[in-house]
Structure 1
Amino acid sequence: MSGLCGWLAHGGSVTENLHLAQQMAAPLGRFDSSGVHASAGGKSAVAVAARDGSAHIYQKEGLLASVWGRARFVEPRLAELAHAEGIAKTLADNWRERGEQTFASLTGSFCCCILDENTNEAALAIDRMGTYPLSYQIAAGGLVFGSSADAINLHPLIKTEIAPQSLYNYVYFHMVPGPDTIYQGQKRLLPGECLVYRKGRVEVSQYWQMRFLEDEKRPFQELKQDFLDVLHAGVREVVGDQEVGAFLSGGTDSSTIAGLLGEVTGKPARTYSIGFDASGYDEMEYARIAARHFATRHQEYYVTPDDIVTAIPQVAAIFDQPFGNSSAIPAYYCASMAKADGLSMMLGGDGGDELFGGNVRYAKQHLFSLYEQVPTLLRKGIIEPLVFGFPGGAVLPPIRKARSYVEQASIPMPARTETYNLLERYGHREVFTPEFLDMVNPGYPADLLSETYHQGNARSLINRMLAFDRKFTLADNDLPKVAKACELAGMDVAFPLISDEIVAFSLRLEPHLKLKGTKLRYFFKEALRGFLPDDIIAKQKHGFGLPFGVWLQTHKPLQTLAADSLSDLKSRNIVRSNFIDKLLDQHLDEHAGYHGTMVWVLMMLEQWYKQR
């Protein structure tokens, strides 16, 4: 993945600063052949570990500017200057003229920094979808930052104290959601945010927001043509003249990318798929359908339980904080196939669901929202007394289903999305030790969910959920999952379906074209009908889910690794010992797939502790 790091308002000689910056950048490029580009002054330094073409540094008279990624300027005048003089110099000059407003003119996937020793000011920003991460910490009157905590923590002013609340949040969400990180006092920029450091103080603001235009009506054929144009442009932009590969799960997004890649390059796309020899988990059939349809140069690999045992410590180590999404493992093996083929970049299909309405929960929440439209008098006076007062209703399937529907539909959004949350189901007092709970706020995750959900400008339920998932599903989960898995394999990754142009198109699309009744991503599928195979359009969503709980029941080395990890976790006095024992001895036998998720989450927490 590479990355960017640096600091302001601390340092020794220029030589010493350069040496420290290079030390901090070392973890960012450890799994690939990235070069380290560094510049330093008397009180600041910046370094970028990245392949040629994605690292940009400018330095002049106490001003340092750096860009990591594939950024460009929207304004033609600035784009011309960037082409002639370099994007880092143009960014620095524009900063002097316009301050933080300069970030609104940037597009693409990137993170960047500007350090001004003359005024003791700094500015940081990341792209609109949060593709390139950037964290920061105030220390001894200065600012330290980096695209990974592994870089930040190497600065001598930084103390790496783990935040108990972030541990709680990890078990709740299976990742640590921004703006928090696992470390006390260390924060992360959210998508479309910029930070300005002045006079020892930090101000964080949004330079770009998702603003939905829900009333814009356009003919279908016009929409379709515009959509195809931005899809092709998104793939063409990231491919350039290099040879790249593509993840292919057989889903709508990855199949679309595979087809577009072949059209853009004029030759068969190189595609890679992962399978599992476990009933209900293997989707290779659909990947093969897409590969045949687009005549790709296709490769497959079946992940085994032994592969999981081998990869777990490596995957835990590559993340700079605990991360519990198990599909990072198959993503790693998929990227490794491409690496073995001599490629240096993969294309991921992530983001299509969160822009065009493809997640199953969108349809589910739509059904629940219908109950909100029933008049209160009818709900409270007739329906609920009838459903909950019916004799023997708890054992009659129709009444039991009606009760469940009313109970869930009566919960306001976004809390309704967490009715199946594992931690909520177990109960936090059953999972965590009393001593640990004394240090945290169990209500924080719900507050964070609510705050994020109500920030958007959308009127429709589907668009409110899409804006919500831009943060929790994409920036906090799926994008780092794929990026870190690729980093471990020594690969770069790009996500064409969340280009700024495609995002802008989705914001103007009428809500009912994203979710039509309970039909998911209606417009996306109809616009690509005839391009994608019919079987792909009709298939149910799945993905690279890992059959961990199933294999945990029979594979001895996996059982040993899980049991040893959870046994060691007991000594940290975070999770109750009796809960761990019950999880392994009883819950797994009751439902391996369901309870295996919590085993994975806790195991990866302990493995992260061991690898840090």
Structure 2
Amino acid sequence: MSGICGWIGHGHGAAENRALVEAMAAPLARFDGSAVQAMAGNASALALAAGVDCAHSLQRDGVAIALWGDVRLRDAARREQAAAEGMGAALLSLWKQGAEALCNGLVGAFALAVVDERAGEALLAIDRMGTHPLAWQLAGETLVFGSSADSLVRHPLTPARLDPQGLYNYVYFHMVPAPGTVYQGQQRLLPGTYLRYRQGRVEQQTYWRMQFQEDGKRPFAELKDEFREVLRSSVRDACGTQPVGAFLSGGTDSSTLAGILCEVGGKPAKTYSIGFEAQGYDEMEYARIASRHFGTEHHEYYVTPADVADAIPHMAQAFDQPFGNASAVPAYYCARMARADGVARMFGGDGGDELFGGNERYSKQQVFALYERVPELLRKALLEPAVFNFPGGGRVQLLRKARSYIEQASVPMPARLETYNLLGRYGPAQVFTDDFLAGADTGQPLAGLSATYGLSDAPSLINRMLALDLKVTLADNDLPKVMRACELAGMEVAFPFLSEQMVAFSAGLTPQQKLNGTQLRYFFKEALRDFLPNEIITKQKHGFGLPFGVWLQQTPQLQALAADSLSDLKRRGIVRADFIDLLLGQHLAEHASYHGTMVWVLMMLEQWFRQRAH
């Protein structure tokens, strides 16, 4: 991958510090071979590894600056300065105006570090969407940081010490949500935040947060025209100077980007799709519909069980935290296919759901929220006693559904979103050993989810859910999935839906334009009804889901890999051996797709351990 790393407040001279920071930077360049730029002082060092277009650095007047990302400067005067003196000089000028000025002066996806050794100050920051991660740790009065935890743990003051809470959170969410990490003492910056270091102390600030304007009254035609122009502008800006292509799943987001890329490029866009020989999982026909409609230069690859087995160790190596989203595998093979075709940058459609209201759970929670509008006296005194105390109600399908509805609707948000959480269904005590659970707070995942949910002051339920998903679903899960999969394939990736213009446009839509009753993406689909094929507009959401559970039942190679991985995991004292036996035996036989998810999550945990010799 690319990225930055370094520290302030430790060292024995510039030469020694340079050697150490270059060693820290090695994991950042391991897949794409990016050149490492190292800057060192007597008590600090800073390194940057990235492609030429995404790497900006400067060391002047005791200040070292490293910026990784595809960014531009907001202010015209600073852009002129960058053109004349270089981006580093413009960044230094902004730094002199303060942390807020510097962070808000950047447009695009980035990770930034400024180290001023003489003043004993440093700044770390990431972009508004959290596209580029940045982890940090304070060891005494030394601040150590890196885009990857694999870099950070190479510093002698911040060795790798596993955090039981991070491991528990991983099994709960299938990833480790920021600001937590899998290592003790390590944290990650949240989207739209910066960290300021001064003389051995740190403080964090939010420089940007999604603000929704819910009372918009602009006419549809005006909004449609602006939306289409923002789409074109966002795709045009994301193209850069290298050959580009687009993931094409056949969904609304990827199909839209493919069509717009054809439009702004003035030629057939290169599109890439993944298929599966498994009933209920293959979406290739929708990708073909979109390709034919827009006239793209289309490429397909069918992932096999053998491909999955081959990719698993490499996936575990690419992620610096345990990561259990299996769709990273098809994303990797898709990016690898495009790379072999000469493409250097891929467009991902990520962000469309979280900006425009595209996830099924939004409509589902809207239905549950209706129950909250029923007067409490009527609920408690009439409805609930009638439903739950009706003789023989358990044998009446309508009453069973009513009971289930009331039970779920009675759970407060956002805990209601986790009603079907896999770990919650099994029960932590049945999954983890007693010794492991003694070091983890089983209530922390929901507490963290509630804290994030509470940060939004949006009046509507849909916008509060969107704000939550921008962090948990997008920044913690989907963006790392695509970024790391592309990194492993040696591919750059851009997300046009996450442009500043697009985010601001979506924030101005009314709740009803995102979720009209139970109609998802209402404005988005209506605004593109004359652009997208009707089959794409009306299709059910799917994506690059991997049929791992199904294949696990049919493929000896995957069975052997899973059994071997989980056998070794037993010896780590984290997961109960009897649960693993039950999972691989009875549970998997009962419902391969459902329980196969937990097999994947635990298998990838063990594979992650192996890649780092924990």
TM-score interval (norm. to shorter):
over 0.9
- Who is 1:154 aligned against? 154
Deviation at 1:100, TM superposition (A): 3.6
Query: Which residue is equivalent to 2:469?
Result: 469
Which SS does the other structure have where 1:110 is aligned?
Answer: strand
Q: CA deviation at 1:201?
A: 1.1
CA contact (8 A) 1:39 1:57 kept: no
Question: Partner of 1:11 in structure 2?
Answer: 11
- C-alpha displacement at 1:99, in angstroms? 3.6
Q: Helix, strand or coil: the match of 2:145?
A: strand
Q: CA deviation at 1:562?
A: 0.4
1:246-275 residue CA offsets vs partner (Å, 9 max, x unmatched): 100000000011111111111111111000
The answer on whether the counterparts of 1:100 and 1:123 sit within 8 Å (CA) in structure 2 is: no
Q: Which amino acid aligns with 1:241?
A: T
AA paired with 1:568?
D
Maintained 8 Å contact 2:243/2:342: no
**Does the CA-based 8 Å contact 1:33-1:51 persist in structure 2?**
no
In the alignment, which residue of structure 2 is the partner of 1:336? 336
Amino acid at match of 1:149: A
Q: Deviations over 1:158-211 (max 9, x none)?
A: 211000000000000000000011110011001001000112111111000111
The residue number in structure 2 matching 1:541 is 541
What's 2:398 paired with? 398
Query: Do the aligned residues in 2 keep the contact of 1:72 with 1:87 (CA within 8 Å)?
Result: no
Q: Note the aligned Cα RMSD (angstroms).
A: 1.1
Deviation of 1:442 after TM superposition, in Å, equals: 0.4
Look up the SS of the partner of 2:393 in the other structure. coil
- Matches of 2:600 and 2:611, distance apart in 1: 16
* Paired amino acid for 2:492: D
Q: Which shifted more, 95-104 or 416-425?
A: 95-104
**8 Å contact kept, 2:244–2:346:** yes
Q: CA deviation at 1:495?
A: 0.6
How many Å separate the matches in 2 of 1:208 and 1:83?
Answer: 27
What residue in structure 1 maps to residue 320 of structure 2? 320
Q: Cα distance, 1:48 vs. partner? A: 1.2
SS in 1 for 2:178: coil
Counterpart Cα distance in 1 of 2:452 and 2:586: 37
Q: Secondary structure at the match of 1:493?
A: strand
SS in 1 for 2:98: helix
Q: Tell me, yes or no, if the aligned pair for 2:275 and 2:302 is still in contact at 8 Å.
A: yes
Structure-to-structure mapping, 1:574-585, within 5 angstroms: 574-585=574-585
For each residue in 1:119-151, what CA deviation from the matched residue of structure 2 results, as whole angstroms up to 9, or x when unmatched? 111001000000111111112421111110111
**Could you say which residue in structure 2 is the equivalent of 1:504?**
504
Query: Which residue of structure 1 lines up, in the alignment, with residue 447 of structure 2?
Result: 447
Matched, 1:572 2:533: no
Question: Residues 476-495 of structure 1: matches in 2 within 5 Å?
Answer: 476-495=476-495
2:554 corresponds to 1:554: yes
* Equivalences for residues 50-69 of structure 1 within 5 A: 50-69=50-69
Report the CA distance between 1:341 and its aligned residue.
0.8
**What's the TM-score, normalizing by structure 1?**
0.99
Distance in structure 2 (CA, Å) of the matches to 1:403 and 1:84: 69
C-alpha distance in 2 between matches for 1:386 and 1:175: 41
1:409 is aligned to 409
Cα distance between partner residues in 1 of 2:199 and 2:186? 19
Match of 1:599 in 2: 599
Matching of residues 68-217 of structure 1 within 5 Å: 68-217=68-217
Q: Matched residue of 1:447: which SS?
A: helix
Moved over 6 A (4+): none
SS at match of 1:394: helix
Deviations 1:348-390 (CA, angstroms, capped at 9, x unpaired): 0000000000000000000000111111121112111111111
Please list the CA deviations of residues 75-97 of structure 1 after superposition, one character each: whole Å capped at 9, or x if unmatched: 22223323332332222222222
Q: Which residue of structure 1 lines up, in the alignment, with residue 310 of structure 2? A: 310
Structure 1 residue 320: Cα displacement: 0.5
Stretch moving more, 20-29 or 82-91 = 82-91
Task: Report SS of the residue matched to 1:64.
Answer: strand
TM norm structure 2: 0.98
Q: What do residues 543-580 of structure 1 show as CA deviations (whole Å, max 9, x unaligned)?
A: 00010000111111100110111111000110111111
Q: Is the aligned partner of 1:383 residue 2:383? A: yes
Superposed displacement of residue 240, structure 1: 2.8
Assess if the C-alpha contact under 8 Å between 1:175 and 1:324 holds in 2: yes
> Tell me, which stretches of 5 or more residues in structure 1 are unaligned?
none
2:425 aligned counterpart, secondary structure: helix
Distance 1:237 1:172 in 2: 37
Structure 2, unmatched stretches of 5+, are: none
Report what 2:45 is aligned to. 45
Report the AA paired with residue 582 of structure 2.
K
* 1:506-530 superposed Cα distances (whole Å, 9 cap, x missing partner): 1111111000000001101111111
**Amino acid paired to 2:59:** Q
Q: 1:37, 1:55 within 8 Å by CA — same for their partners in 2?
A: no
**Number of residue-to-residue matches in the alignment:** 612
Tell me the amino acid that sits aligned with residue 159 of structure 1.
P
Cα distance, 1:440 vs. partner?
A: 0.8
- Shift, 1:73, TM fit: 2.3
Q: Does 2:273 correspond to 1:273?
A: yes
Displacement of 1:216 in angstroms is 2.1
- Measure how far apart 1:21 and its partner are: 2.0
State how far apart, in whole Å, the 2-side matches of 1:261 and 1:116 are. 42
Partner of 1:553, secondary structure, is: helix
* Rounded Cα–Cα distance in structure 2 between residues aligned with 1:140 and 1:409: 47
- 2-side partners of 1:144 and 1:231: how far apart? 39
Counterpart AA for 1:253: D
State the distance in 2 between where 1:53 and 1:449 align: 36
Instruction: Quote the residue 2:590 is aligned against.
Output: 590
Q: Deviations over 1:434-479 (max 9, x none)?
A: 1111111100001001000011120000000000001100010000
Distance 2:101 2:201 in 1: 19
Letter in 1 for 2:170: Y
Contact 1:101–1:207 (8 Å) recurs in 2: no
User: How big is each residue's C-alpha offset from its partner over 1:270-297, in whole Å with a ceiling of 9 and x where there is no partner?
Assistant: 1110001000000001000011111111
Deviations 1:419-447 (A, max 9, x none): 00000000101111111111111000010
For the Cα contact (< 8 Å) 2:140–2:200, is it kept in 1? Answer: no
Identity of aligned residues (%): 63
Displacement of 1:16 in angstroms is 2.4
**Structure 2 counterpart of 1:14, one-letter code:** A
